[in-house]
Amino acid sequence: MQNCHRKIVLSVVAIFCIVLFLIAYFGGFTPTNDGVVEYIEQALICIHSGTLYPCSEIYQTKPFIWHCGAINAIVLSLKLFHSVTPLMYVYAILQTTLAYLIYNIGEKLTNNFWISFIAMLLFVCYPNNWGAHTTLLSEIPMLFLSLLAIRLFLYNKISTTLLCGAIFAVANWFRPIAIIFICALILYSIINQKKKDVLRHSVAMIGAYVAVILLIGSACYLRTGHFVYQNESFWYNMADDAYDGATTDPHYGEPLFKKGTPRYVENMQQYDCFELNEIWKQRCMTWLKSHPLTYLSKVPDRLYYMYRNDIDNLIAFLPNKTNAENNYILIPLRHLASEFTQMTAIQHFALFQTIVYWFILLLALAAIPFTRRRNSLSLIIVALGTLAIVLSVQGETRFKAPLMPFIFIMAATTIVQIFTRYAKRKSRLD
């Protein structure tokens, strides 16, 4: 039976990989403002300077440090192939492996083939997961590394725990989210293990994590004179919301450095990114100390904006995506009845994806009563991750991407519970 299950799982994974390859081949690269204006542009600056990202020229010309691992992946692709196209196929393979990791983690947590298999199917059949690899943003490599680290931690061996911590540090290099997973794993261990085991594994994981961070940061320091191991945009993002009159929406279409907000700095070009970061930090800290309740009152709206939909990667299917600024999809939800027949095909597709997403969210919420100590990791990660994100940045919908695999596991738990109860009820009636 196990061999049969394994063949089924690997067949689904293989089909998913083929589909992603076909989407990359026929759809091509999907330009985004971050991916083209920042990632590729900054990668070209580093290639011109003959070094990795970040480099000294970046410090002087850009307001903050972007996601180092993601940009260096583009640097490598451009240097080797003079194109980013091969990287799409690498990310497609990582996305495919993510599906298997979701299955594997789900099986380890629940000891139930059907929960883990359905969680994987939800991930594979979820439309918003079909185009992410064509944007070349940081989510896919970060998620692949993070889930790999989590799976290694669940082996409950010191050797794999050390490797887990090291991989988390590399995941952070692509996108800083690992600390949420580390805290969740420690809390999960406290709930499920003996105190002695929790301490040993926590120290091993954090020790390896810090060691690799020191290694990455020190290598950057030797190259550039600055210790940088991940993106440095926290205070830049915070400055978009830490002032009187700031709204909680993501501020699309507004100037990035609007006069009268903390982000605006007179003669900005005279400062490097580290000096700007310190200016924003001081301004934000001053406002936050005086307005803590005002800031906390924005959390519900941030939660809404982050979870309202999940259609960011559907732009891969736009009929014309040559202009990055036009690569977005809007659904007229407030006027859906009157505008439904005028909507484009991609808008109808996005509406379908939104309905699927809301249904999965409801299933995930319904799994909370079924959560037990052994399978509590998914709930812990979603809860901690949501809280950390809405407390620190405005609620862009793609910021929840690191949490979605665990939402799929929770949704699958509910589906299996429904069918199990139905089967028991039917057997009693028979």
- Per-residue pLDDT of 133-174, as tens digits, reads 999 999 999 999 999 999 999 999 999 999 999 999 999 999
Decide: 238 and 182 in contact? Cβ < 8 Å. Answer: no
Best-predicted range by mean pLDDT (70-74, 175-179, 295-299): 70-74
Question: Distance between CA atoms of 163 and 153, rounded to whole angstroms?
Answer: 8
Question: Is the backbone peptide bond immediately before 63 cis, with ω within 30 degrees of 0?
Answer: no
H/E element, 57: helix 56-61
Decide: 374 and 109 in contact? Cβ < 8 Å. Answer: yes
Q: Alpha-carbon Rg of the chain, whole angstroms?
A: 22
Residues spanned by the domain of 344: 2-429
pLDDT, tens digit, for every residue of 246-257? Answer: 877 766 667 888
**pLDDT tier for residue 211 given thresholds of 50, 70 and 90:** very high
pLDDT, tens digit, for every residue of 223-238? Answer: 999 999 999 999 998 9
Q: What is the pTM of this model?
A: 0.94
pLDDT, tens digit, for every residue of 333-382? Answer: 888 888 898 999 999 999 999 999 999 999 999 999 988 888 899 999 99
Instruction: Please tell me the total count of domains within the chain.
Output: 1
* Sole residue written with tokens 């989407």: 23
